[in-house]
């Protein structure tokens, strides 16, 4: 089975905001279910069309932990915008559910890599009302430093 989803949002300054800006967000998800496991190919971009101080896409009430990697390096988006190209897989092994995701972070404006990240989770429900979830994130990502030579991996 194949699936897709697409999102688009545009954000602009309002009223007497001292920062004159507009920013776009778009996301495209493509997925396929193969032998009861789900593989997802995704691209996500948080793009500021006018790059400068205070001109990034704002989501103050969002839970970005679920979207731009579990290491939470991009809770406040990079001033140069963020391209997040990621590939994931999820499935079940008995009573356990698992998920693996790889992110490649890059600057939307200009060039350069913000690094990459590997996310993994393993969880299961028990006694009908309880569950346990283990999550890990290993990242080289840094939202302040686009570079062509990422640092060595540090897990968080």
Tokens 């092994």 correspond to 93
Statement: the pTM of the whole predicted model exceeds 0.85: no
Q: How far apart are CA 149 and CA 137, in angstroms?
A: 20
pLDDT tens digits, residue range 20-51? 777 777 888 888 777 655 555 544 444 444 44
Q: Give the confidence band of 68 by pLDDT, cuts at 50, 70, 90.
A: confident
What tokens appear for 146 in the block?
A: 């686009």
Q: Is the pLDDT of residue 19 over 80?
A: no
| DSSP, residue by residue, 24-65 | EEEEEEEEEEETTEEEEEEEEEEEESS-STT-S---TT--GG
């Amino acid at each position: 089975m194949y699936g897709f989803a697409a999102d688009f949002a545009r954000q602009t300054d309002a009223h007497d905001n001292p920062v004159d800006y507009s920013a776009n967000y778009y996301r495209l998800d493509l997925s396929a279910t193969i032998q009861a496991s789900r593989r997802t190919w995704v691209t996500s971009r948080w793009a500021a069309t006018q790059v400068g101080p205070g001109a990034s896409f704002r989501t103050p009430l969002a839970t970005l932990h679920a979207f731009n990697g579990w290491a939470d390096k991009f809770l406040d988006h990079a001033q140069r915008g963020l391209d997040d190209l990621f590939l994931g897989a999820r499935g079940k092994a008995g009573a356990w559910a698992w998920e693996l995701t790889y992110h490649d972070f890059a600057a939307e404006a200009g060039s350069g890599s913000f690094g990459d990240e590997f996310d993994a989770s393993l969880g299961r429900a028990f006694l009908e009302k309880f569950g346990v979830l283990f999550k890990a994130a290993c990242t080289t990502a840094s939202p302040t430093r686009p570079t062509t030579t990422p640092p060595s991996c540090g897990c968080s």
